[in-house]
Amino acid sequence: MQGIAFGPTIRLLRQAKGISLRELARQLGVSPAFLSQIEAGRQHKIPRARIVQVAEMLGVSEGYLLGTARTLHPDLMKFMSETPEAAEFMLTAMRSGMLAQDFTQLREIVADKKRRTGVLKSTAAKKKSGANSHTLDEYLDVAL
């Protein structure tokens, strides 16, 4: 069963983009009546592929729309089932009361670490080639 926010979210996004129900239905290859049922929350059997298609057409992330449908991305489900540490982390985060902004900060920390790792690899390559090099401490954030 889809989440209660799914249909109304589609309606709000569609209206914000100035797309008529008929036009979105045409683009999706479904009847306006079917789309109307989805928006009203009366249609609950929606394939994930259709949810992804709607997200693309309305310019939102797949994760956002899947979240309103209370459906997880299959790659995420697979990762969580194959990586018990990740599942345990998510349970711990949930139980500790982490908020959306906490996850945003965590995502930024991970992205920053990826950037630093790229810089470190680049520095190592320069060092091997004899180019001007810096110490590792210049690139590390000891606050983490």
Looking up residue 11, the CATH number of its domain turns out to be 1.10.260.40
**88, part of any domain:** no
| 62 and 11 both lie in a single domain | yes
The number of domains in the chain is: 2
| 61 and 109 both lie in a single domain | no
Q: What is the pLDDT of residues 31-69, one digit of tens each?
A: 999 999 988 888 767 777 888 889 899 988 877 887 776
| 25 and 70 both lie in a single domain | yes
| 66 and 115 both lie in a single domain | no
**87, part of any domain:** no
Can you give the residue range of the structural domain that contains 47?
6-78
Mean local confidence (pLDDT), 13-42: 91
| 29 and 70 both lie in a single domain | yes
**31, part of any domain:** yes
**85, part of any domain:** no
| 121 and 61 both lie in a single domain | no
Q: What is the pLDDT of residues 61-114, one digit of tens each?
A: 877 887 776 666 667 767 877 888 887 888 788 788 888 888 888 888 888 887
95: Cβ–Cβ under 8 A, 6 or more apart, which residues? none
User: Are the C-beta atoms of 34 and 25 separated by less than 8 Å?
Assistant: yes
| 55 and 114 both lie in a single domain | no
Look up tokens 């109304």; give the residue: 8
**127, part of any domain:** yes
